[in-house]
Amino acid sequence: MTLVEVALNLPVKGLFTYSLPMNIVNVISPGHSVLVPFRNFTIKGVIISINAEGSLSYQGEKNKIREITTVLNSENPVSCQLMELTRWLSEEYGCSWGEALALIYASPKVKKKTMPLPETLDRAIELEAPLLLTPEQSEALQKLENSLEAGKMEPFLLFGITSSGKTEVYMRIIQEVLKKGKQALFLVPEISLCYPFYSLLKKRFGGRVGVWHSQKTPREKSSQIEMIKSGQMDILIGARSALFAPMERLGVIILDEEHDHAYKQDEKPRYHARKVALRLAEIHQSLLLLGSATPSVESFYNAQEKRYTLLTLKERVPTHCLPRFTVVDRKKSQTHGSPFTAQLFHAIRVTLNKRQQSILALNRRGFSTFLLCPNCGYVWKCANCQLTLVHHRVSEIETDGENLQCHFCFEKKPLPKACPDCKSEALYTGGFGTQRIVQDLKKHFPRARVVRLDRDVPKPKAAMAQAYETFRDEAADILVGTQMVTQGFDFPRVTLVGILDADTALYHPDFRAAERTFQWITQAGGRAGRSALGGEVVIQSVMPDHYALLTACQNDYPAFYRQEIDFRRSLNYPPFTRLVLLRVQSKNKKEWVAQESDRLCAQLQTLECKADFEVLGPGPAPKEQLNKELRWHILVKCRTSETTRSVALAMRSFIPKSGVKLVVDVDPYNIL
C-alpha cells in the first residue's frame, strides 16, 4: 500500500495520511491536488510527500487509513517553489499549510465578468515615459542590472517622487530580465490598476504579457498556465494573488506603490504581499523591486538599515514641475458653515477663469456626515455598528429620497423628522461629504461643469472610465471625489488640487495615522502640475502644524520619516516590533467575549517566549461593535520574528467557546 501525506484546506494542525488507489500510484507526485474523504465530507488537499512514515494520520472509522478519492490537477502539480512559499507562509501567518496552498487554486467567490477598463486609461502613464533616461534613472537601472548580472537575490527600494519616471525603470529592467530568458512579475495594489500598466507593457512587449488576478475564472487561468508553461507568456501583471501564479523562472518581482495597504489581505490567510514577495524572491534568487513615492516606514527603515538597497529619483521628468502647496487653517478662516475656506474658494475661481481644471478630494461620501438634535444632543447611530450614520441624498439638488446610511454595514433608513428622545423637529445636519461639495460648487459657480466620483455614483467602474474621458476631453472643469480621484487621474490641464479634509485620518487611534495622512496628501497633491502649466495644492486642515502635513507640503519624505521613526521607536511600534492582533468577537454570545479575551491573555502568559513580547489589552476594539458583532482586542508587540511566529502558532491551539470567534492577524493594518 502506498501512503501519502496530504495538507488539507482546513484550520487544523499537521498533515493527514491517506492511501493511494492502485490505478493512480504511478501518476502522482507531490504538488498534486486531490479530493479526500474527511469525516463525512469530501474536501480538497494537496499531496506533500509520498510513502511518508510516522506522520500524523487521521484515523477514520475502524482505524482504517482511507483512500484518496480523485486527483484534480494531474497536468499541473504545484511547483516546488510554491510548495516552499506556502509552507513558509503558513508558519509566518499562523494558518495551516493546506489553507496557504488554497491561495494557489483560489477561484473567484463571485463569478463575474471582469471589465477591462477602456484603452483611454493608457495615457496617464504614457506621459511619464520619456525616451531618454534622466541621469538618476540611468543610475538606478545600472545598479539593478549589476545585481541581475550577479544572479543573486537582492531587494531594492525605488523611492521616486511622483512624475519622476519610476515606470520607465520598471520597463527597462523587465526588458533585461527577458533577455536572460527569465520571467517578470509586476504587482499593483488593486485589480483596477492592472489595466493601464497592462496596455503599456503590451505596447512594449506584445503578447508576452498576461493579467493574473483573483477574478479570473478557472478556465481563463488554465489557458494562461498553458501559455506560461510553453514560454509564450513571460510577464504577468496582477494584484497580490499573482504571487501564487506558476512562474518557475522568475527574474524580477516588482511591487509598485509598495506602501499601499491593499497589499495586505484582510481575510485568512492574512498575508502581506510585500513580505511574501520577499520570500518568493529568496526562493527564486531573483530581484525584488519595491517602488513608491511615499515608501512605507517599514521599507524605508529596511533601506536605512541596509537590508534593502535604496534607489532614489528626486527630480521630476523635465516637462513636469512641482506644484506649490498651501495649508489653510480652518480654525482661522471664516467659512460661515461652507466646506470651503476663502483661500480655496479663490483658487477655484482663478482656475476656472484661466479655463484650467481642478480636482477636489475628500474622504467622505454622502451629503453631510451626521444628523444631530441640537436640543438634547442625540446623534443618529447605526444599531448594528454604533457608527455615526451619514446623511445621503439621491441627487445634489432634490431633497426627496434623503436617507441615513451606515458606511460599514450599508443599513439605510429614511431621514427622520423628529428626535426620538425629546421629539424636537429642529434637527441639524453637520459635516460635509462629496454631495454637499457639489451642491456648494453649483451654487457659487453655476456655469462650472462639475463631475462627482465616489462609490455612491451608479456603476462606479464605468463612471470612473467616463469621468476620465470627460476630464481628458476638457468637457468638465471640476472633479469632486474620494480617494478614487487620486489614482490614475493625471492630466496636463489640472492645475489645482484642493484637499478639503486633510487631517481626518489623524483622529483615528491608529499608529499609522500620520503615515496614511502623508501618503494621502502626497498622492492627491501629485495630480497637480503634470505639465508646464504648473500647479497649486490647497490643503484645508484644523491641525496645520502637524508634521505629516508640513512635510507632505514640502515634499520632504525623509523629514517625515525622521519624525515618524522617532515616534515609532518611542512607543515600540513597527518596524521596532512586529504586531499580532488578536480579535475576539461574537454576535450571539456577547457575554462571553470579555471572559474569553481574559482566558486568551492568560494563555499568552504561559508561553515560554513571554519575556519577548508586550501585551496591550484585552479591551473593547475602537470600533467595538460592527455588524451586530461585539469585538475585543488584544495587541501583542513582539520583539523578534521568531516570537511573532510562536505567538501566532500558539493561538492556533486556542479553542474559543462555541459562538465566539478568534481572529489572529499577524502584522495587522486594520487595528480599529
370 touching Zn ion, by CB under 5 A: no
3-state helix, strand, coil in the chain (%, to 5): 35, 25, 40
403 touching Zn ion, by CB under 5 A: no
Q: Which CB sits closer to Zn ion, 113 or 417? A: 417
Length of the chain in terms of residues written: 672
Q: Which CB sits closer to Zn ion, 139 or 411? A: 411
Question: Please, is 410 exposed, middle or buried when counting C-beta atoms within 10 Å of its C-beta (0-12, 13-18, 19+)?
Answer: exposed
115 touching Zn ion, by CB under 5 A: no
Chain-centre distance for alpha carbon 80: 28
CB 546 within 8 A of CB 506: yes
Helix (H) or strand (E) holding 558: helix 557-570
Rounded to 5°, angle at Cα 663 from 662 and 668: 150
Q: How far is the CB of 190 from Zn ion (least distance, A)?
A: 24
Q: Which CB sits closer to Zn ion, 422 or 532? A: 422
Q: How far is the CB of 585 from Zn ion (least distance, A)?
A: 15
Of 6-14, 207-215, 363-371, 409-417, the window that binds Zn ion (rule: CB under 5 A) is 409-417
372 touching Zn ion, by CB under 5 A: no
Q: How far is the CB of 631 from Zn ion (least distance, A)?
A: 13
End-to-end CA distance of the chain: 53
Q: Which one among 2, 304, 335, 375 touches Zn ion, defined by CB under 5 A?
A: 375
Q: Which CB sits closer to Zn ion, 387 or 550? A: 387
7 touching Zn ion, by CB under 5 A: no
Which residues lie closer than 8 Å to 567 by C-beta, 6 or more apart?
514, 573
Q: How far is the CB of 391 from Zn ion (least distance, A)?
A: 15
Residue 296 has which C-alpha cell? Answer: 512605507
In terms of phi and psi (left: phi > 0; alpha: psi -120 to 50; beta: otherwise), the region of 94 is left
How many C-beta neighbours within 10 Å does residue 632 have? 22
Q: How far is the CB of 368 from Zn ion (least distance, A)?
A: 17
CB 65 within 8 A of CB 29: no
Q: How far is the CB of 508 from Zn ion (least distance, A)?
A: 18
Q: Which CB sits closer to Zn ion, 359 or 373? A: 373
Question: Please, is 542 exposed, middle or buried when counting C-beta atoms within 10 Å of its C-beta (0-12, 13-18, 19+)?
Answer: middle
Of 399-407, 432-440, 584-592, 602-610, the window that binds Zn ion (rule: CB under 5 A) is 399-407
634 touching Zn ion, by CB under 5 A: no
Q: Which CB sits closer to Zn ion, 329 or 411? A: 411
Residue 334 has which C-alpha cell? Answer: 471664516
* Separation of alpha carbons 86 and 91, rounded Å: 9
74 touching Zn ion, by CB under 5 A: no
Q: Which CB sits closer to Zn ion, 428 or 567? A: 428
**Number of residues in contact with Zn ion, rule: CB under 5 A?**
15
Q: Which one among 125, 200, 382, 636 touches Zn ion, defined by CB under 5 A?
A: 382
Phi and psi dihedrals of 11, rounded to 5?
Answer: -80, 65
Q: Which CB sits closer to Zn ion, 205 or 378? A: 378
Q: Which one among 102, 141, 209, 419 touches Zn ion, defined by CB under 5 A?
A: 419
376 touching Zn ion, by CB under 5 A: yes
**Residue whose C-alpha cell reads 501564487 in the numeric block:** 244
672 touching Zn ion, by CB under 5 A: no
Q: Which CB sits closer to Zn ion, 407 or 583? A: 407
Q: How far is the CB of 407 from Zn ion (least distance, A)?
A: 8
347 touching Zn ion, by CB under 5 A: no
Which residues lie closer than 8 Å to 195 by C-beta, 6 or more apart?
116, 117, 121, 211
**Residue whose C-alpha cell reads 520598471 in the numeric block:** 170
* Separation of alpha carbons 80 and 78, rounded Å: 7
Q: How far is the CB of 374 from Zn ion (least distance, A)?
A: 8
Q: How far is the CB of 266 from Zn ion (least distance, A)?
A: 18
408 touching Zn ion, by CB under 5 A: yes
Of 159-167, 367-375, 394-402, 617-625, the window that binds Zn ion (rule: CB under 5 A) is 367-375
Q: How far is the CB of 418 from Zn ion (least distance, A)?
A: 8
Q: Which CB sits closer to Zn ion, 181 or 374? A: 374
Question: 3-state DSSP call for residue 50?
Answer: strand
384 touching Zn ion, by CB under 5 A: yes
409 touching Zn ion, by CB under 5 A: yes
CB 479 within 8 A of CB 360: yes
Nearest Cα to 156, choosing from 315, 273, 300, 283?
Answer: 300
* Residues forming beta bridges with residue 35, ordered by sequence position: 44, 70
Residue 407 DSSP one-character state: T
Q: Which CB sits closer to Zn ion, 175 or 588? A: 588
**Residue whose C-alpha cell reads 453637520 in the numeric block:** 430
Q: How far is the CB of 298 from Zn ion (least distance, A)?
A: 32
* Separation of alpha carbons 440 and 635, rounded Å: 43
Neighbouring C-alpha atoms within 13 Å toward the C-beta of 407: 19
* Separation of alpha carbons 177 and 235, rounded Å: 10
- Contacts to Zn ion from residues 278-307, by CB under 5 A: none
Of 82-90, 124-132, 201-209, 411-419, the window that binds Zn ion (rule: CB under 5 A) is 411-419
Q: Which CB sits closer to Zn ion, 67 or 411? A: 411
* Separation of alpha carbons 58 and 455, rounded Å: 48
Q: Which CB sits closer to Zn ion, 318 or 430? A: 430
630 touching Zn ion, by CB under 5 A: no
Which residues lie closer than 8 Å to 466 by C-beta, 6 or more apart?
none
Of 363-371, 381-389, 489-497, 658-666, the window that binds Zn ion (rule: CB under 5 A) is 381-389
Q: Which CB sits closer to Zn ion, 316 or 631? A: 631
406 touching Zn ion, by CB under 5 A: yes
373 touching Zn ion, by CB under 5 A: yes
Q: Which one among 20, 46, 385, 548 touches Zn ion, defined by CB under 5 A?
A: 385
**Residue whose C-alpha cell reads 520632504 in the numeric block:** 556
* Separation of alpha carbons 286 and 63, rounded Å: 47
Q: Which CB sits closer to Zn ion, 21 or 416? A: 416
Residue 32 has which C-alpha cell? Answer: 498534486
Of 149-157, 227-235, 373-381, 450-458, the window that binds Zn ion (rule: CB under 5 A) is 373-381
Q: Which one among 75, 421, 556, 642 touches Zn ion, defined by CB under 5 A?
A: 421
Which residues lie closer than 8 Å to 369 by C-beta, 6 or more apart?
388, 390, 391, 430, 431, 432, 433
- Contacts to Zn ion from residues 190-219, by CB under 5 A: none
390 touching Zn ion, by CB under 5 A: no
Q: Which one among 370, 378, 547, 576 touches Zn ion, defined by CB under 5 A?
A: 378
Q: Which CB sits closer to Zn ion, 342 or 422? A: 422
422 touching Zn ion, by CB under 5 A: yes
Which residues of the shown chain bind Zn ion in the complex (CB under 5 A)? 373, 375-376, 378, 382, 384-385, 406, 408-409, 411, 419, 421-422, 424
